[in-house]
Amino acid sequence: MDLEEARRKVEELRREIEKHDYYYYVLDSPLITDEEYDALYRQLLELEKRFPELVTPDSPTQRVGGRPRDEFRKVVHEVPMLSMDDVFSIEELRNFVNRVYKILGREVDFTSELKIDGVAVALIYEDGRFVLGATRGDGRTGEDVTDNLRTIKSLPLRLREPVPGRLEVRGEVYMTKEDFAMLNKAREEEGEPLFANPRNAAAGSLRQLDPNITAKRRLRLFVYQVVDSQKYDISSQYQALAWLRQKGFPTQGNEKLCKNFDELVGYIDDWQDKRHALSYATDGVVVKVDDLRTYDILGTTAKSPRWQIAFKYPAEEKKTRLLDIEISVGRTGVLTPVAILEPVRLSGTLVQRASLHNEDEIKRLDIRIGDFVYVRKAGEIIPEVVRVDFSARTGHEMPFSMPKNCPVCGAEVVRLMGEVAHRCPNRSCPAQLKEAIRHFASRDAMDIRGLGEKIIEQLVDKKLVAGFADLYKLTKDDLMSLDRIGPKSAENLINAINNSKTRPLFRLIYALGIRYVGLRTAEILAENFKSMDRLMKASIEELSEIPGIGPQIASSIVAFFRDEENVSTIKELAKMGVNMTEEKKEQGHGPWEGWRIVFTGELERASRSEAEEIAKSLGAIPTNSVSRNITMVVVGSNPGSKLAKAQELGVKIVDEQTFWKLVEEAESKK
């Protein structure tokens, strides 16, 4: 290849990589897999090594990643958040280690840590209190996602051992495999696009403009770096992790101090299979020089430090035959095509079924019954078909198309404009009914213990249950007519069903399965309306006024309660004695009962969450958005747009000092 050919190829690769960077970092919607991206990147890197005169400052190899969106306030990183170079073989890792030895003129220890498949964040603490959190962005300028980060329960809002002055630490926001699977299952039931992996789910959740959505996503955090570590007499990475744990930060706890290259390789080999048993996805091992005092000597390139590297495990894919495609019908009537596979062992488990998501995905991959396909686990938990081995086709493979009628009840299938999902519109469809009852009885809903999938199957098939209210009409004899249900089991289940009648209102709202209404939204609705009757009469305008309830959710709620069948179900449940009102919480008897309070800016005497807890203890309801029904807005230093909104609406505004005076007065009346 001559220079001119190389120039054209380099430009082509740069454009391709820049496009994928945009979709991955900015839109959180990648078009290709990590492995395909790595191949493009390495191809460009090799060409630039061969033709160094083609390297320019704007090449993807010379920078970190995507730019922040305009919707978020921009944050400049005082110490750039660089990314890591990747290696894919033990030989490449050996070259990295030897390079470190050569620069330092001696052998050194390394700390090995598992590489979390998540989103890098910088966290700022002032005198032990969390005040700012930002994404990496392009490495030098990130996005302010402080409010969203506050929703992560594993993130300490106040350190267990306060650190004077300003402290910056860095870590990774991630989602567990179980939470990722639950999120995608819920999205699939709603006919919404699925996240490709936990990393995309975490990124999409963290960058929501509405923190209420982020709060529902169950994000987690691991912290792994102390910026300006010398300020705290920390001289090694291994010591830094112990220091972070001491201060109350969550760390992985799987790190190892490796004294030589063989110990590094041993750690990598040890975790290759063990990692599949972890609750979170990891795609490699991060190897860092342990002695932090050497980092200035080792230095950095434009995009990555020379003192660390990521060893990436190969993505495990297995080839198998697709025997058939079955259709499953979900709670909301969504028809999901499922691949039936010749059994294949993948990431430690035997895989025989894999979701194909929807008809568009089948067409995109050109999947046919009888094909040899490659299967892997998205986020190391959900089996998925990723590609077809077209070279193995014989011509006898059969194209697939979605059925025109529901395979369970025979109703004509519909596909609404703008949706990828095909749906069965018949709400009496046994498949939908089974899934709806499973959701109704689930732990977060009515929590009917002992009402499992097999019992629900029999109850519906034997026509003992045709709706939620029928559960409360079941007798001991009804249950004993089912397979493997004896007198004691029947009695226990009857008791569990009866006990569920007293569940709080928000659990019933969630149990009904209203589209877009998750558990947190159900809590907000119960707090605001106090009774099912009031909620059923609410208008779109009234609902939209409530913080955390947008127009889409409001429209869905109103549509649900306009449906006569749904109204009839609720009336039947009420007749059976199911609780329809929100019990006043203990805090509701306080002197501030009925008050709605918004906090904006930074408080001096306490963190915002602590102030909110104090307000709750006095009977108030803290909320995140300003509207006309807010009692008062408490303003700290550096207030945001909430102050201007309060002034515009004429809502009462008080400073922090006044707030604490009001607290003291209220406390004296308790």
Report the Cα–Cα distance between both ends of the chain, in Å, rounded.
83
294-302: long-range pairs with CB below 8 Å, 24+? 294/104, 294/108, 297/103, 297/104, 298/100, 298/103, 298/104, 300/82, 302/57, 302/62, 302/63
Q: Is residue 431 a contact partner of residue 329, using CB atoms and an 8 Å limit?
A: yes
Q: Which amino acid is at 608?
A: R
258 marked as binding residue = no
Q: Which residue has the tokens 């709603």?
A: 190
Give the C-alpha distances (Å, rounded to integers) separating 365 from 360, 371, 385, 390: 9, 11, 9, 10
Q: Which token pair is 670?
A: 């308790």
35 carries a ligand binding annotation: yes
Instruction: Flag whether 255 is marked binding.
Output: no
- Beta-carbon contacts of residue 286 (< 8 Å; ≥ 6 apart): 84, 112, 113, 114, 115, 224, 308, 309, 310, 311
**What phi-psi label fits residue 253: left (phi over 0), alpha (psi between -120 and 50 degrees) or beta?**
left
Asked whether residue 18 is marked as a ligand-binding residue, the answer is no
Q: Is 313 annotated as a binding residue?
A: no
Q: Which of the residues 9, 74, 115, 476 is marked catalytic?
A: 115
Q: Exposure of 451 by Cβ count < 10 A (0-12 exposed, 13-18 middle, 19+ buried)?
A: buried
The CA distance from 457 to 254, in Å, is: 43
Nearest-10 Cα torsion for 188, 191, 194, 198: -50
User: What type of residue sits at position 605?
Assistant: R
Query: Count of residues for the chain?
Result: 670
Annotated binding-site residue? 424: yes
Q: At what angle do helices 261-274 and 90-104 cross, to 10 degrees?
A: 150
Cβ neighbour number for residue 393 with a 10 Å cutoff: 14
On whether the CB atoms of residues 373 and 320 are closer than 8 A, the answer is yes
DSSP-H helix ranges across 512-590: 519-529, 532-536, 540-544, 551-562, 564-575
Is 406 assigned a ligand-binding role in the annotation?
Answer: yes
| 653 strand-pairing partners | 633
Active site residue 115: yes
Q: Which residues pair with 353 in a beta bridge?
A: 340
Q: For residue 434, say whether it is annotated as part of any ligand binding site.
A: no
Of the candidates 348, 363, 435, the residue with the CA atom closest to the CA atom of residue 402:
363
Residues 6+ apart with CB under 8 A from 19: 31
DSSP E strands in 587-631: the ranges are 596-600, 621-623
Whose structure tokens read 């909110």? 612
Binding-site residue set: 34-38, 83-84, 113, 136, 172, 288, 312, 406, 409, 424, 429
Binding-site residue set for Zn(2+): 406, 409, 424, 429
List the catalytic residues: 115
Binding-site residue set for NAD(+): 34-38, 83-84, 113, 136, 172, 288, 312
